[in-house]
Amino acid sequence: MARRSGQSGYIEAKGNMYHVRFRIDVVGQEKRAYKSIPICPVSGPGKMTKPERDRRAKEIIAESGADTERHFKQVEGVTSGTTFRQQAERWLMDSRNRKRDPVQPNTIAGWQSHLDTWLLPEFGDRPLASIDNPEGKILVEKMCKAGRSANTVRCVLNVLEWVVASAVDSKGNQLYPRSWNHDFMDVPLVKVEKLRRPTLTGEEVSKIVQAARGRERMRYVLLAAGGLRVGEETALDVRHAVDGGSTVHVQHTVWRHHIGPAKCNSVRDVDLCAPVAALLKTYIERRNFGPLFPTRSGRRESARNARRSFDNLCEKLGLGKRGFHSFRRFRTSVLRADGIPGKDGVPEHLISYWIGHQDPNRMNGHYDFSSKTMKEWRKQWAEKVGVGFEIPADLGYPAPNAPKKVSALTQAEPKVYSAGCVA
């Protein structure tokens, strides 16, 4: 199907009416069909002069969209037979394997869940070109009727819009450009104050740490004192704890038993105050290789098992379900509470560095390497801030034993599951 150019149409008299005849693309046909639309009476009330008829004929053609690129691409897309399901598979594969900022597997899994639950049952076998604002409106109504939150509706709509936008021609231009209208679709607004963002207080962290023993106690102390993500902490090896346990190198993350490189902003050195460093040194003891948090067999513990143990402990203590991310919110709150950030408190760019977020001053962040190179300055701030909870004197019972021998399991470099940035 070749691209169409503009047309003026042909005006002819049919009975007592003038009609404009023009060609328009039709789904399922290679050649354009003729369409005839009345303009005005030949005589009597409503009659137009020839210049008026010519002008009205051009308006009718423009209103039909016969010469627009959007109409051409829609018809071409339906004729080619590309369905939403097919394009969604291509989009996921490209997002996972592309060289430019490949998407992490956990994000891919979330998108796949939205597709399987909502989008594929609704649009799976429909032509991609037929999906527009009206279809989005129907989807929003179904999700709201099912009681889904505004944030879930927004996330599912994002996937829908990205899949449609991912269909491009040989020149990289979108085949089906859309002006998504969230007002028309009546998309509920996401209210930040209503999002579930559980956190912990210093007293609650102290209670959790005291109730845990051994490996779990050390895990919770490190999460609360360092603000690490659970995947980052699970990926830690003994060799990542340096300077007597006062610094932890974060370079990798774990997702479903696979270790991969952390994102660029997540690659960092997390500094710990002296009491936490002493506890970590005791926990490592004689080990010089292997996972920092091993199972009894010496294997790396999965994040799923760690979450299950934490949920059981919180339920036992009557704290409800909190999730490991509550430790990151607690640590960020402690860092920000120490004075006014940027003045007599912890510098904002140092908070972002320790937590693993992008520098808020994006342009200055390209030139500022103080957080990465000034180790003693970071350690001074770590000692000044402290942890905000009561640090136990010991682990509660002996630290894990050192592996009996060096094995491929404990010495091999982590398996990379996707491209990324490693320091």
Report pLDDT for 287.
Answer: 86
How confident is the model over 69-127, as pLDDT tens digits? 666 655 655 555 688 999 999 999 999 999 888 888 888 999 999 999 999 999 988 88
Q: Is 317 left (phi over 0), alpha (psi -120 to 50) or beta?
A: alpha
Q: Return the pLDDT at 144.
A: 94
Between residues 130 and 389, which one has the greater pLDDT? Answer: 389
Highest mean pLDDT among 62-71, 183-192, 405-414: 183-192
Whether the predicted pLDDT of 260 surpasses 90: no
pLDDT tens readout for residues 306-350: 999 999 999 999 999 899 999 999 999 999 886 444 446 788 888
Q: What pLDDT is recorded for position 423?
A: 33
- pLDDT score recorded for residue 361: 66
Residues 6+ apart with CB under 8 A from 386: 273, 334
Mean pLDDT of the chain: 84
Tell me the mean pLDDT in the region 254-282.
Answer: 88
Using alpha carbons, list the distances in angstroms from residue 31 to 23, 27, 60, 344.
Answer: 9, 10, 21, 73
pTM over 0.75: no
Given a cut of 50, whether residue 285 has pLDDT beyond it is: yes
The answer to whether residue 419 scores a pLDDT higher than 50 is no
CA distance 14 to 16: 6
Q: Over the stretch 6-53, which tens digit does the pLDDT of each residue have?
A: 677 888 898 889 998 888 877 666 677 788 889 999 988 889 998 999
pLDDT at residue 415 in the model: 46
Query: Percent of the chain beyond pLDDT 70?
Result: 83
| Lowest-pLDDT choice from 18-32, 157-171, 378-392, 394-408 | 394-408
Per-residue pLDDT, 35:
85
pLDDT at 34: 82
Question: Binning pLDDT at 50, 70 and 90, where does residue 372 land?
Answer: low
pLDDT at 296: 82
Q: What is the pLDDT of residue 343?
A: 47
How much is the pLDDT for 206? 96
Contact 118, 139 (CB under 8 A): yes
- The full set of domains in the chain, from first to last, is 10-77 (no CATH), 81-194 (1.10.150.130), 202-411 (1.10.443.10)
